[in-house]
Amino acid sequence: MEFGLKMARLTTSTYSKFTDSLPNPTHLSLFKVDPLVGVGILDTNPRLALTIADRLLGGRGHSVKAERYLTEIEIALLEDVINIVLEEWCAQWKTEQELHPIIIGHENNGRFLQTSPKDAIVLILTLEVNFGDCSEQMQIGVPYYTIEPVVKKMQARRQKDTAVSQPQKRAEWQKSYENITMPVRAEWNALELSLREVTSLRVGDVIELPATLFHDTHVLLNGTPKFVGTVGLDSDRVAVQLTRKLPPPTVTQPAKSDGRKDT
């Protein structure tokens, strides 16, 4: 006979509120998920549980109206179905981690359960079940700390999958650049003279320069110092061999005025 499961809602609550909201009577299956920590709870409506047991015992699985606690035989029969449901639930996580459910106990009242701290956050999956003429609900309550490692793996994988790699922009030569001209100048920071010395200079005077000056020739591109090189002769031309690159000039901020004018 067809056993239909449909997700009704997915909510979160504290452990104490979740256990207080469980109906009485009900059938609770306590389970662990290897290799995760913590204990989960699967709540099965008694009418649904009795309908399943009736069908497995050869009955029609139809028109079961009783709501009572299950016998040991009925619990053992229901456990086979609960195992299938839990295995399907664990299969939803198989892309992140292989999980294996294990039923570790049964209870019929949620008020005395102490499988998690009272303030622990519980993820509650409510399922609508259709089996014959029985339409009831199942609830799977799992502490968030149980599935947190798997959720973190899922988030990390999704971030990796959705991350858009920014292509590195590389400078490319454009043909239109070929006709652009730029002034290039080589100069020395030779020496300083007083204004009197400058005015006394005449044609034929000799100005002595240090020999190291040849290795400290500054090359300016469009008026901005860019390189330092060594000056020399190449055939009948003066040439500069570039030896190092100058750092970009620092931009000095203008001093803020206090609003007063000097006179």
Which amino acid is located at 222 in the chain? N
Residues of the chain with pLDDT under 70: 163-168, 251-263
pLDDT at 125: 93
Same domain, 111 and 240: no
pLDDT at 128: 93
Residue 234's CATH number: 2.30.330.10
Q: pLDDT tens-digit profile of 124-140?
A: 999 999 988 888 999 99
Whether 165 contacts 33, CB under 8 Å: no
Answer whether residue 250 is part of any domain: no
Same domain, 149 and 233: no
Same domain, 83 and 25: yes
Same domain, 191 and 116: no
Same domain, 104 and 224: no
DSSP 108: S
Same domain, 193 and 120: no
Answer whether residue 253 is part of any domain: no
pLDDT at 259: 54
Same domain, 26 and 82: yes
In 82-190, the DSSP E strands lie at: 100-107, 121-131, 134-143, 184-187
Same domain, 185 and 97: no
pLDDT at 69: 83
Q: Cα–Cα distance between 150 and 92 in angstroms, integer?
A: 11
What tokens were used for 53?
Answer: 């047991």
Same domain, 90 and 213: no
Answer whether residue 226 is part of any domain: yes
pLDDT at 141: 94
Listed in sequence order, the DSSP H helices in 125-224 are 144-162, 195-199
Instruction: Give residue 224's domain range.
Output: 181-198+209-245
Q: How far is CA 252 from the centre of its chain?
A: 41
Residue 12's CATH number: 3.40.1550.10
**Tally of domains in the chain:** 2
**Would the CA dihedral through 56, 57, 60, 66 be positive or negative?**
negative
Distances (CA, A) of 263 to 166, 198, 260: 57, 32, 10
Answer whether residue 165 is part of any domain: no
Answer whether residue 70 is part of any domain: yes
Q: How far apart are the first and last CA of the chain?
A: 104
pTM, full prediction: 0.58
Same domain, 214 and 91: no
Answer whether residue 26 is part of any domain: yes
pLDDT at 213: 80
Answer whether residue 167 is part of any domain: no
Answer whether residue 256 is part of any domain: no
